[in-house]
Amino acid sequence: MLEKTLDDVNLKKSQVEVFGLGYVGFPLAVRLANGGFTVSGIDVNPERLSRLENNNLNETELNIKKEFLHVRNENLLTFLEKPNKYENSKIAFICVHTPIATEDVDSDTYVKNAIEQFLETSKKGDVIIIESSIGGGTTEKMQKIIQDFGYNVGKDFGLCFCPERIDPQNKKWNLENIPRIIYCSDDTTFRIIQKLYQPINHAHLHRVSSPKIAEVVKSYENAFRLVNISLVNELGILCERLGIDVKEVINAAKTKPFGFMPFYPSAGAGGHCIPKDPRFLSHAATQNNLKFSTIENALQINLDIPKHICNKIEENLENNNMEKSVLVCGLSYKPDVGDMRDSPGFKILKELKKRKFKVGGYDPYFNPKLIEKYLTENFLKELEFEKVEKLTDEEISEFSCVCLVQNHSIDKFRINEIYEKSKIKMIYDCLGKIEFKTESKTILKTFGKN
Ligand SMILES: NC(=O)c1ccc[n+]([C@@H]2O[C@H](COP(=O)([O-])OP(=O)(O)OC[C@H]3O[C@@H](n4cnc5c(N)ncnc54)[C@H](O)[C@@H]3O)[C@@H](O)[C@H]2O)c1
């Protein structure tokens, strides 16, 4: 059965179904279709489907617009609410979100739903590839579900876990050149997968021997980043007390050609990966009567950094007899992306609001229609703040201080101008991106420095 699928894939006759057309699934679907596969992009969000149907991309997706329009014109990429039955073999890529578990949903709820939907329309010889980041034991749990549908995984049905490693807007490392790790249920499925990942990353795949290894690798990679981000941020707090510049420390330390990797201070890690995936490891530790203290501490530090930043802002405003009004610039979790999930900017807004500050929020990617979504994604029921549309002189004059959380490329010039032309009384730079200028009358405070 799987041998027949291998023939289909070689002839590009298999139907590919990508579940979840978000940050991970959408570019993947475009790339597979560009590789000549017939792809159905499936999503449960009707608004997303209708926008894509109308070739309407988000600002941060415009970099693949040409490829997208090409595959749309060639009829290689269509959009559906649900999977279909096909005569030829089907391949499912599961790219749905895997949130932190709550009372209502487990982290794997959406993965399970998508897999069950696929199984309703599948047959022997079909293959499922999970790309979502999942906790330990999830692949085996999904294997059991597939077997309950009457298939023999590894014999007449293929199952893989190939976690996505994409770093959105990274100019050097992208979908095409990032090597991937993969668990495959059997050798034939691996040969199928090698063909499918040819147009994705030239099939640069490192096969591991068990699903648990692949699951732990993914969480460990992100735990490595979380721990180092928390480490450098805590070092930043110490450097402030010592009256030295943490950036000078890092830049000196990175002259060591081995055993050191530089991380830079920020208002903390956000997004749907770094503060989330390490929890899979600490959860696994708890289940095995262990405590993963490094991760637990790093998560706590990550939560504390926005509070530290608010303390510094409050202290500086008080010392300078300034009104407690702050414009938080950069609400997404990293520069040049529109993803607002679990973002330090929202944590700072919330904390300042709690302290009765007048607060404004600005982000060039902020879409006022999505405010409810942003609140949910930041675990907030409500948050009243003034939404600033543009960094005009008039808008910023309402505030004593700009807190720079993310320095989006399209705002860099304006932020520097605000500082150089002394358009505001104070700037608190969480990233250390603004260069001190003696001629500016704006008080510049930098996390990890003063
Ligand atoms: N965003 C990143 O940079 C990144 C990087 C590496 C790994 N990941 C992982 O990849 C996974 C997806 O993340 P994302 O950022 O693309 O999420 P996302 O929220 O941007 O997209 C998920 C999409 O899945 C859809 N969906 C939910 N249930 C569905 C179902 N049953 N069928 C079809 N569609 C369904 C949602 O409507 C949404 O559009 C997560 O596990 C994440 O941790 C994300």
Report if residue 114 sits inside a domain: yes
Nearest to 280 by CA among 435, 185, 409, 163: 163
Please state the rounded mean pLDDT for residues 232-249: 97
Report if residue 107 sits inside a domain: yes
Tens-digit pLDDT profile for residues 64-80: 999 999 999 999 999 99
Q: What is the phi/psi pair of residue 77, to 5°?
A: -135, 115
Report if residue 277 sits inside a domain: no
- Ligand 1 atom 15: the closest Cα is on which residue? 23
Report if residue 245 sits inside a domain: no
Q: How far is the CA of 330 from the centre of ligand 1 (A)?
A: 22
Please state the rounded mean pLDDT for residues 376-383: 91
Report if residue 226 sits inside a domain: no
For position 27, which CATH number holds?
Answer: 3.40.50.720
Q: Among the three residues 189, 209, 229, which one is the final residue of a domain in this structure?
A: 209
The amino acid at residue 450 is N
What is the distance between the alpha carbons of residues 335 and 311, in angstroms, rounded to a whole number?
Answer: 24
Please state the rounded mean pLDDT for residues 404-427: 97
Two structure tokens written together for 373: 């979504």
The answer to whether 418 touches 403, Cβ cutoff 8 Å, is: no
What is the distance between the alpha carbons of residues 361 and 384, in angstroms, rounded to a whole number?
Answer: 10
- Ligand 1 atom 12: the closest Cα is on which residue? 97
What is the residue range of 48's domain? 2-209
What was the pLDDT predicted at 60? 81
24 has pLDDT over 80? yes
Tens-digit pLDDT profile for residues 352-371: 999 999 999 999 999 988 99
Q: How far is the CA of 300 from the centre of ligand 1 (A)?
A: 25
Q: Which atom of ligand 1 is nearest to the CA of 48?
A: 39
What was the pLDDT predicted at 8? 97
- The verdict on the CB of residue 95 being under 6 Å from ligand 1 is yes
Q: What is the phi/psi pair of residue 252, to 5°?
A: -75, -40
Tens-digit pLDDT profile for residues 289-339: 999 999 999 999 999 999 999 999 999 999 999 999 999 999 999 999 999
Q: Among the three residues 190, 209, 228, which one is the final residue of a domain in this structure?
A: 209
* Ranges assigned E (strand) in 117-242: 127-130, 158-161, 180-184, 205-208
Report if residue 269 sits inside a domain: no
Q: What is the phi/psi pair of residue 41, to 5°?
A: -95, 125
What was the pLDDT predicted at 450? 75
β-pair partners for 427? 402, 444
**Shared domain check, 309 and 205:** no
Q: Among the three residues 209, 237, 259, which one is the final residue of a domain in this structure?
A: 209
Q: How far is the CA of 27 from the centre of ligand 1 (A)?
A: 12
**Shared domain check, 205 and 87:** yes
Q: How far is the CA of 343 from the centre of ligand 1 (A)?
A: 17
β-pair partners for 206? 181
**Shared domain check, 132 and 16:** yes
Two structure tokens written together for 384: 């009243």
DSSP letter (8 states) at residue 87 = S
Q: Which of 272, 339, 343 maximizes ligand 1 atoms within 8 Å of its Cβ, making it the mutation to test the pocket?
A: 272
Report if residue 104 sits inside a domain: yes
Report if residue 149 sits inside a domain: yes
**Shared domain check, 317 and 177:** no
**Shared domain check, 177 and 50:** yes
What was the pLDDT predicted at 363? 97
The amino acid at residue 361 is G
DSSP letter (8 states) at residue 59 = G
The answer to whether 196 touches 49, Cβ cutoff 8 Å, is: no
- The verdict on the CB of residue 44 being under 6 Å from ligand 1 is yes
Count of domains in the chain? 2
pLDDT band of residue 422 (cuts 50, 70, 90) is very high
